[in-house]
Structure 1
Amino acid sequence: MSTILYPSPIVGPIHSRRLGISLGVNVNPSDGKICTFDCIYCEVGYNALRHTSSPRPSREHIASCLEAKLKEMKQAGSCLDVITFSGNGEPTGHPDFLGIVEDTIRLRNDYYPAAKVSVLTNSTLAHRPDVHRALMLVDNNIMKLDTIDPIYINKVDRPVSPAYDVEKIINEMQSFNGHCIVQTMFMKGTDDQGHDVDNTSDRFVTPWIETLRRIRPREVMIYTIDRETPATGLHKATHAELNEIRDRVAAEGIECIAAY
């Protein structure tokens, strides 16, 4: 299946299943991907096939482009629900991420004060003090946790660093004291080697919910495949499966939304 790369540094606005009318901020280059994960479901594609020959956009360039777009949208009377950091890889890897977030909040306050600022992060760099501070500043700190099973993580999320430790990630999520939203992809099918990647069963869901009790996030977002993926054997989780998982999370007293 084909995958896509996003322009940089501004994407959209687009309609997000989970967030509404979203203006994207892509702090990575437009001609490649820079990520600490290499997920088999990533719509941007595999890392090895997405090498970039360009530097990340500078903090100043991002702020200039974002202000120009917000001004244009405001003058046109366009609606905006959220400014979302996502794009071609992990946004928190930008060396000026904290400053970029501070600029974004300032511009949001100037042009669309009711809009939220969100970050979609795979959680791998949240231990860095500047990244942690940035994630505390945004409205929606959306942190990935597809499972707590290390074998599954290495098969599906495929962390680039061999030092990746899901227990450390969970501890870091706890350190936000509820200022985080856990985001989890549920899917079915097989990876490129024919291995089963269905994480909708009780074997995966029960320990994941037990971990949510530890993290106590403000909210949980569960979703399934919506766009084309580099691994061709993947399939959507069903509405019924997502609804059942959503209801189990809600029974723990944690708000949960499901995107189909």
Structure 2
Amino acid sequence: MAKDVAHDIDPATQLHLTYVYGPVPSRRLGLSLGVNPLPVETKVCNFDCPYCECGWTVSDRPAGRLPSVAVLGEQLRAKLSQCRAQGHRLDAITFAGNGEPTLHPRFHDIIELACHLRDEYAPTAKVAVLTNATRLRQPDVRAGLQRADIRQFKLDAGTEAMFRRVDRPFGQLTLARIVDDMCTFDAPKMLQSMFFRGVSHGAPLDNTTPEEVEAWLAHVKRIQPTEVHLYSLDRTPAEPTLEKVSTAELEAIAERVRGLGIPALVF
């Protein structure tokens, strides 16, 4: 396992303190160099998931210092050069960070720059984006995601009611709209799904019930992803009362996905 390179995280907030970090060993993507195209001072997301390791969402608008394309490019070039000099063979350059990466207003430009730098310094690495897929109707975001090599879309619920509790979206976002947009996205896409149970905001919360899993599977069948990644809690969530789902339970759900003819992996 490769040693982390300047992976700076605030121990109190779990926010990334740099725009480029790692490389870190990713359960799903191998040795990954992370890119955080969001402020380092605060989490920015249009979801407020109780399981998020970055804590609760304050705003869905970039409130702190948003990195420019030039600054991200400088930091990414420097880190890629350092990785090459130290002998790290990267599997991925992954856009994630302190919230939803597609909220950066120049998302497409950043992805294009990352692809060019990847070709120069780490040609075997894949450019990946972890996204909640809420901005697929934005032309800039859609183009950026199509340019990336790997797109992992979030799908954590089967019903609208569970979606509103598990992902706690801002504004007028609905599960139905997001699933429709995933279905019409004309490039290969993976799904990543978090399963857990516990108590959130004083009420029981469990997205592993038979009804929820059935509804979730119906969405998976419609979306037809190339692969589904199922996982549970791995780091301290915003809501400390949440509980991890066992590997056996995740495997049972994964087996039902495989029954649809879709590959599924448990992490």
TM-score by length of 1: 0.94
**Structure 2 equivalent of residue 31 of structure 1:** 41
Distance 1:134 1:53, change over 3 A: closer
**Structure 2 equivalent of residue 108 of structure 1:** 118
**Structure 1 equivalent of residue 212 of structure 2:** 204
**Structure 2 equivalent of residue 218 of structure 1:** 226
Q: Which has the higher contact order (CA 8 A, sep 6+)?
A: 1
1:59 aligns with one of 64, 69, 72: 69
**Structure 2 equivalent of residue 235 of structure 1:** 243
**Structure 2 equivalent of residue 179 of structure 1:** 188
**Is residue 134 of structure 1 aligned with residue 144 of structure 2?**
yes
Give 1:178 shift.
5.3
Give 1:169 shift.
0.6
Tell me the SS of whatever aligns to 1:190.
strand
Give 1:53 shift.
5.6
Tell me the SS of whatever aligns to 1:95.
coil
In structure 2, C-alpha distance between the alignment counterparts of 1:64 and 1:212, rounded to whole Å: 39
1:202-243 CA distances to partner (integer Å, 9 max, x unpaired)? 211111111111111111111100000111110111011001
1:12 aligns with one of 4, 16, 22: 22
1:165-194 CA distances to partner (integer Å, 9 max, x unpaired)? 21111111011245111111001111131x
Aligned 8 A contact 2:196 2:244 in 1: yes
2:132 aligns with one of 122, 127, 130: 122
Q: CA RMSD in A?
A: 1.8
1:116-147 CA distances to partner (integer Å, 9 max, x unpaired)? 11101011111101101111111111111101
Question: How many pairs are equivalent?
Answer: 257
Aligned 8 A contact 2:18 2:40 in 1: yes
**Structure 1 equivalent of residue 80 of structure 2:** 70
TM-score by length of 2: 0.92
Unaligned runs of 5+ in 1: none
**Structure 2 equivalent of residue 95 of structure 1:** 105
Aligned 8 A contact 2:159 2:212 in 1: yes
Distance 1:99 1:41, change over 3 A: same
Tell me the SS of whatever aligns to 1:208.
helix
Aligned 8 A contact 1:8 1:28 in 2: no
In structure 2, C-alpha distance between the alignment counterparts of 1:153 and 1:59, rounded to whole Å: 33
Give 1:86 shift.
0.5
Identity %: 39
